[in-house]
Structure 1
Amino acid sequence: MNNKTPEQAPLRVLIIGSGFAGLGLAMRLRQQGVEDFLILEKGSEPGGTWRDNTYPGAACDVPSHLYSFSFEPKTDWTRRYAPQAEIFAYVRQCVAKYQLQSRIRCNSEVAEAEFDEQAALWRVTTADGAQFSARALVSACGQLNRPLYPKITGLERFAGESFHSARWRHDIDLSGKRVAVIGTGASAIQFVPQIMPKVAKLHLFQRSAAYVLPKPDRAYSRFELALMQRFPWTQKLDRGLQYVYHEARGVAFFLVPWLMKPYRANFLRQLARQVPEPELRAKLTPNYPLGCKRILISNDYYAALAQPQAEVVNEAIREISERGVVTADGREREVDVLIYGTGFAASDFLAPMRIRGLGGLDLNQAWRDGAEAYKGISVNGFPNLFLLYGPNTNLGHNSIIYMLESQFPYVLSCLQQLDQGVRYLDVRAPVQHAWNQRLQHDIEHSVWEQGCNSWYKNAAGKNTNNWAGFTFRYRQHTRQPDWSDYDLVR
């Protein structure tokens, strides 16, 4: 790394990423009257996953009142489950209200960051060579920001158009086209029903069937919207009720996984009603317990797959040819467009950035057996580095915004320590180890370990993504840092 000192004075805090995590922390800093921070954003504008995912039908699978900041409520969501455009507009609203435009530097992808022990500063270099220094570095990159492309022979051979759902090509008209969709995750179940009426033929290649439950979505009535505008406490009440309802589902996720069995039986009854054709139904029946992978919600997915122009293919893909997709049985399906609905590199938390801590310790090396952090926030050997939505803070049962709002005060308390004569704070290795041992023990008894592979796990099968507990317990853990957990260097 170039050790030239950056021209500008060191910042109090440098935040990487301007999705909900980075913006939420910046909003909290603003509320405290702090000006001395900067957000580096690799995209052309803020918004994170809600800027990137503009595919047809993109929407949140957490209710809108729960998927927004408690300290920045929005009483005029049009639907119970907000569509992408509305969430993106909310993000821009937050940026404008808190006057964050001047604190965000777009088109600035962080290439590397190194902790300078002498100066107790993080030295950060972006892909375009700009340099920054800061007393604290906050990674707010999220877990779903790097599209994952399938490792299939011949991808580059395909002569037609191809793109990932998170990089949707709106300039390509799918009308009358033969389309192959690879993957059946949360994005595919939203865009497949949207494009089905246009295409001549749609081949959906699935590795394993998903559990797709009905989505309790509807538009808010004019009366409800007027009520929430007039009496904002009614919005808070709705948010509270939704929180309790979602939190209660945690009992089946990580306390009593066998409770999922009656839910599975109910799912199979619904599937039989929605997909009467036995052969198609067999293909769409998951062969693992409900909840082991992400549960998806949609009201039109199964109906779309029952259309005459749809084909669900369970056969493994052997290769991509110039003309289409070749399956293991040697059959070639000729297509005009290839869409990857294959999700994100969720377990590579800070990749492709190169992060070096004390003594030049490389974060990839520290995480060679799988990412881990203390409370999902601090990593031993990387002082004054704080992760938002870090390892094992993702949820299967509630809203990630609640988890972020638990992390903000914790990080802000650590930043205050740095203003009170502490040069740097580094979480102690035994503390981090004990936390993660306990955490992995809890995960072992959860529904995610009932015999399936999912994006919650890394290649070695370690669950690096999920929190296996109630969110209110996580909030208790993060209420206030225990300074004995850290080496405080004054």
Structure 2
Amino acid sequence: MADNNSPRVVVIGAGFGGLGAARALRERGVTDITVLERADAIGGVWRDNTYPDAACDVPSPLYSWSWAVNPRWDRRYAKQPEILAYLRDAAEREGLTGLVVTGAEVVSCTWDDDAAVWHVGCADETTYDAEVVVSALGQLSNPVVPRIPGIDDFAGPAFHSAQWRHDVDLTGRRVAVIGTGASAIQLVPGIVDRVGALTVFQRSAPYVVPKPDQQYKPHHHRAFARWPALLQAERRTVFWASEKLNAALGGQVRWSKAFLATIRVAWRLHLRRQVPDAALRARLVPDYEIGCKRILFSNDWYPALSREHVDVVTGAVTGVEPSGVRTEDGTLHEADVIVWGTGFAATGFLAGVAVTGVDGADLHQHWADGAHAHLGVTVPGFPNFFCIYGPNTNLGGSSIISMMEAQAGYVAEAVSQLGDGTRTIEVLPEVAEAYDREMQTRLRASAWNGCDSWYVDGSRITTNWPGRVSEYQRRTANVDWDELAAR
């Protein structure tokens, strides 16, 4: 322990999750906190994702820290520069930026049982010793580019949406966008007016519904500043609406099917109104049940795809050649630039970090059939090791910040008990096993049953939480010490 009897804590990652955890720990009296960030600045996904028109798909009054309410959002769905500025300003005001060490890429965490200490190793061979490790790497930190034959042979620039090449001028060029997920539906409208030709390669069409966005005017800002309850009311309203969506997606209420059917009607009307061409509309119909993937919000995705210089290709991509992308029908789609909108390794929790627990236990071996953790936070055999945005804590709707704040509070309460004779905290194996059974049972019984994209090797759903955010908040509001072994 540190001299003041406060445990030393290493937090991995300086995004919303890691910085929020650091603040919660400090609020509980933990003073020796080091936040290790592999990049050269704080910000997490909002530092990395700088593609055109990058924005949040959750209204900003809710997609923000509860302890840093912002009355001056430019619009209801804030864009990336404003979100990043908000995160950095709030962290600076709270004195969190001084805790961060940048350029520190963690590659190993090794438990020393004799000393009750984690040895944290970085890529540059720097090491840190700490009684507690909090991993806040998240589920959206490692971009995925599929292994496609010839991918290295392409003659032009090719980059992932999360690694946007701002030095590449797209004006008048033929651009291939591979993928139609949450990033693609923002960046395609963002570049459509600049490019000469745009080919969008779609493996599976998303459900896209109208986005109730608006720009906040000066009178909104004055009202929010003068009457803070107005902004809190909007936050509560958005939270309530998102809870209804989560309940329906999880099949928890008798009206789930009716609610999802209503969303499907809204999607179909949106598609029909914005895409006049029947053949294109047919290509934009999803091939899965609504709720199996995140429902997306956009007012300009369908109009962008309807432009004369835009083509939507539904055939599977089979190869990349120097001059373009080839699909399963043998067609070569010529391109000058390729943008990979192919998402992230959401199920690869703690990828790139070797975590070794009690008696040499390998966390990745423990998770060989898919990651799982009690409350998404703690794993037996890995004492004083906690996750923020861990397994089964993602959402089909609502703000992930609400989930991460709940996790941060739970972790901070647990860590605050270390010292005065308590060296380690570890979840009991039987508790973790029972929780995992509950998660898998509920998820299989929910609207996500049969949604192949949620499974790891067809056996386990590792990403999503099956209930409402409010339920998770209740279950993490206080540490149940009967579920943990404190030694």
TM-score normalised according to structure 2 size: 0.96
**Deviation at residue 461 of structure 1 after TM alignment:** 4.8
- Asked if structure 2 preserves the Cα contact closer than 8 Å seen for 1:163 and 1:169, the reply is yes
Aligned AA for 1:172? V
Q: Within 2, Cα distance between the matches of 1:397 and 1:88? A: 21
Name the structure 1 match of 2:101: 105
Choose the corresponding residue for 2:483, options 478, 482, 485: 485
Name the structure 1 match of 2:343: 343
Q: Within 2, Cα distance between the matches of 1:31 and 1:411? A: 12
**Deviation at residue 415 of structure 1 after TM alignment:** 0.6
**Deviation at residue 11 of structure 1 after TM alignment:** 5.8
- Asked if structure 2 preserves the Cα contact closer than 8 Å seen for 1:10 and 1:134, the reply is no
Aligned AA for 2:371? A
| Residues 25/224 of structure 1: CA separation in 2 closer, same or farther (3 Å cut) | same
**Deviation at residue 419 of structure 1 after TM alignment:** 2.3
Name the structure 2 match of 1:452: 451
Deviates further, 288-297 or 32-41:
32-41
Say whether 1:68 aligns with 2:67.
no
Look up the SS of the partner of 2:408 in the other structure: helix
Say whether 1:421 aligns with 2:421.
yes
**Deviation at residue 10 of structure 1 after TM alignment:** 10
Q: Within 1, Cα distance between the matches of 2:6 and 2:217? A: 50
Name the structure 1 match of 2:329: 329
Name the structure 1 match of 2:470: 472
Q: Within 1, Cα distance between the matches of 2:312 and 2:456? A: 27
User: Any idea what the Cα deviations from partners look like across 1:65-116, whole Å, max 9, x if unmatched?
Assistant: 1011111111111111111001100111022112223210001000101010
Deviates further, 231-240 or 373-382:
231-240
Name the structure 2 match of 1:375: 375
- Asked if structure 1 preserves the Cα contact closer than 8 Å seen for 2:28 and 2:412, the reply is no
- Asked if structure 1 preserves the Cα contact closer than 8 Å seen for 2:6 and 2:32, the reply is no
Look up the SS of the partner of 2:417 in the other structure: helix
Look up the SS of the partner of 1:448 in the other structure: coil
**Deviation at residue 136 of structure 1 after TM alignment:** 0.5
Name the structure 1 match of 2:360: 360
Q: Within 1, Cα distance between the matches of 2:446 and 2:75? A: 32
| Residues 409/376 of structure 1: CA separation in 2 closer, same or farther (3 Å cut) | same
Q: Within 1, Cα distance between the matches of 2:370 and 2:27? A: 36
Q: Within 1, Cα distance between the matches of 2:451 and 2:474? A: 31
Name the structure 1 match of 2:23: 27
**Deviation at residue 238 of structure 1 after TM alignment:** 1.3
Q: Within 1, Cα distance between the matches of 2:482 and 2:27? A: 28
Look up the SS of the partner of 2:460 in the other structure: coil
Give the alignment of 1:229-378 within 5 angstroms: 229-254=225-250, 255-256=252-253, 257-259=256-258, 260-378=260-378
**Deviation at residue 141 of structure 1 after TM alignment:** 0.6
Q: Within 1, Cα distance between the matches of 2:270 and 2:71? A: 33
Give the alignment of 1:29-178 within 5 angstroms: 29-178=25-174
Deviates further, 394-403 or 347-356:
394-403
Look up the SS of the partner of 1:442 in the other structure: helix
Name the structure 2 match of 1:438: 438
Q: Within 1, Cα distance between the matches of 2:377 and 2:247? A: 25
Look up the SS of the partner of 1:418 in the other structure: coil
**Deviation at residue 154 of structure 1 after TM alignment:** 0.8
Q: Within 1, Cα distance between the matches of 2:426 and 2:27? A: 27
User: Any idea what the Cα deviations from partners look like across 1:279-336, whole Å, max 9, x if unmatched?
Assistant: 1001001121111111111100000000000000001111101111011111111110
- Asked if structure 1 preserves the Cα contact closer than 8 Å seen for 2:55 and 2:77, the reply is yes
**Deviation at residue 32 of structure 1 after TM alignment:** 4.2
User: Any idea what the Cα deviations from partners look like across 1:425-472, whole Å, max 9, x if unmatched?
Assistant: 1111111010011111111122222x3332x43243521011110111
Aligned AA for 2:17? A
Q: Within 2, Cα distance between the matches of 1:318 and 1:241? A: 46
Q: Within 1, Cα distance between the matches of 2:313 and 2:58? A: 29
Aligned AA for 2:476? T
- Asked if structure 2 preserves the Cα contact closer than 8 Å seen for 1:11 and 1:38, the reply is no
| Residues 11/38 of structure 1: CA separation in 2 closer, same or farther (3 Å cut) | farther
Name the structure 2 match of 1:3: none
Unaligned runs of 5+ in 1: 1-8
Aligned AA for 1:487? A
Deviates further, 379-388 or 91-100:
91-100
Q: Within 2, Cα distance between the matches of 1:452 and 1:217? A: 29
**Deviation at residue 261 of structure 1 after TM alignment:** 2.0
- Asked if structure 2 preserves the Cα contact closer than 8 Å seen for 1:439 and 1:468, the reply is yes
Say whether 1:228 aligns with 2:227.
no
Aligned AA for 2:452? N
Q: Within 2, Cα distance between the matches of 1:265 and 1:223? A: 35
- Asked if structure 2 preserves the Cα contact closer than 8 Å seen for 1:293 and 1:453, the reply is no
Moved over 6 A (4+): none
Q: Within 2, Cα distance between the matches of 1:336 and 1:430? A: 56
Identity of aligned residues (%): 45
Say whether 1:217 aligns with 2:213.
yes
Q: Within 1, Cα distance between the matches of 2:128 and 2:153? A: 41
TM-score normalised according to structure 1 size: 0.95
- Asked if structure 2 preserves the Cα contact closer than 8 Å seen for 1:264 and 1:289, the reply is no
Number of residue pairs aligned between Structure 1 and Structure 2: 479
Deviates further, 365-374 or 21-30:
21-30
User: Any idea what the Cα deviations from partners look like across 1:342-366, whole Å, max 9, x if unmatched?
Assistant: 0000001101100000001001100
- Asked if structure 2 preserves the Cα contact closer than 8 Å seen for 1:178 and 1:202, the reply is yes
User: Any idea what the Cα deviations from partners look like across 1:249-301, whole Å, max 9, x if unmatched?
Assistant: 22311124422123213321221121121110010011211111111111000
Look up the SS of the partner of 2:270 in the other structure: helix
Q: Within 2, Cα distance between the matches of 1:411 and 1:251? A: 26
- Asked if structure 1 preserves the Cα contact closer than 8 Å seen for 2:318 and 2:327, the reply is yes
Choose the corresponding residue for 1:463, options 451, 461, 464: 461
Q: Within 1, Cα distance between the matches of 2:246 and 2:64? A: 21
